[in-house]
Amino acid sequence: MLDIKQADKAVKALLGYVEKKGQAKSQLMEEDQHVWLIIATKKFSDESKAKPHRIPLKHSIAAPDAEVCLFVKDPQKDYKRLLEEKNVKGVSRVIGVSKLRAKYKPYEAKRQLCASYGMFLADARVVTVLPKLLGKTFFLKKKQPIPVDMTKGDLKKEIARAIGSTYMHLTSGTCTAIKIGLTSQSAAEITANIETAIPHIIEKIPRKWKNVQAINLKTNDSIALPIYNSLPDEGTTRIVVPGKKNASVVDVDEEDEDEDEEEDEDEDEE
């Protein structure tokens, strides 16, 4: 399990580094940077998922002046009216699927759209068609649209919750990066975000803590500071591979073997 005191020490060290770097340039850092939580797993995920997992935070990392763009079903005017009726604040622009398809077809138009807003939301009913319409730029910049339920009675709360959370984008690799704080926040606020988010993050990882190799903390241009490293599993068997002068050693998780055997049995029964 994560030692929150160790996490707090890493947060303070990271913010100290950012401050020192700013002083070395004889000026404060002009741009607020994100603090990232880097989760390294022991095994690859089965598949990448376009739909991100919402992770609640104690302190929002959305900049007060950040502009938010919302993708909706057609006609878009109906949803603009709906936002006004529900007194929803924080959404700067509403774009319907038809307008997105017609106006933002060229790559450069998509790139400019991606750079124009700090966050993108989308009606959950159109999320599946967006990857093809938006292209890879949004995904490389980790600006995938966040699904929201536009049919909610309390739409104002739904939008506010989406803007105030962070998101976990599972990939087919063994490393996942999650925004957990801002360098403008205090160490206590970032640590509180880590403490709030970790249980929700672990819940989304296959095999949960057993599959977590390490957790690190970093900014875009800093070194990674470790806040958690897994210990060898008690159920690990060491197998010597013969046939070489210096025989190699392979660690095998007995629990995984049992799971594989169960899967084989299930397949045989089918």
**Tell me, what's the pLDDT at 23?**
61
Q: What is the pLDDT of residues 44-86, one digit of tens each?
A: 766 555 578 899 999 999 876 778 999 999 999 999 999 999 9
**Tell me, what's the pLDDT at 62?**
82
State yes or no: pLDDT of 203 exceeds 80: yes
**Pairing, β 146-148 against β 119-123:** parallel
State yes or no: pLDDT of 254 exceeds 50: no
User: Under CATH, which number does the domain 64-161 receive?
Assistant: 3.40.50.790
**Confidence band for 172, pLDDT divided at 50, 70 and 90:** confident
Distance CA 83, CA 186 (A): 33
State yes or no: pLDDT of 195 exceeds 70: yes
CB atoms within 10 A of CB 29: 15
**Tell me, what's the pLDDT at 25?**
57
Name the CA dihedral angle for 51, 55, 60, 66, rounded to a multiple of 10 degrees: -10
Q: Is the peptide bond before 145 cis (omega within 30 degrees of 0)?
A: no
**DSSP label at residue 250:** E
Distance CA 135, CA 127 (A): 13
**Tell me, what's the pLDDT at 170?**
76
**Tell me, what's the pLDDT at 141?**
81
- Compute the mean pLDDT over every residue in the chain, rounded to the nearest whole number: 82
Lowest mean pLDDT among 10-14, 50-54, 122-126: 50-54
State yes or no: pLDDT of 264 exceeds 70: no
Hey, what CATH topology would domain 1-60+165-231 get? Ribulose 1,5 Bisphosphate Carboxylase/Oxygenase (3.30.190)
Distance CA 114, CA 119 (A): 9
**Confidence band for 237, pLDDT divided at 50, 70 and 90:** very low
Distance CA 199, CA 203 (A): 6
State yes or no: pLDDT of 267 exceeds 80: no
Lowest mean pLDDT among 97-101, 126-130, 185-189, 254-258: 254-258
State yes or no: pLDDT of 252 exceeds 70: no
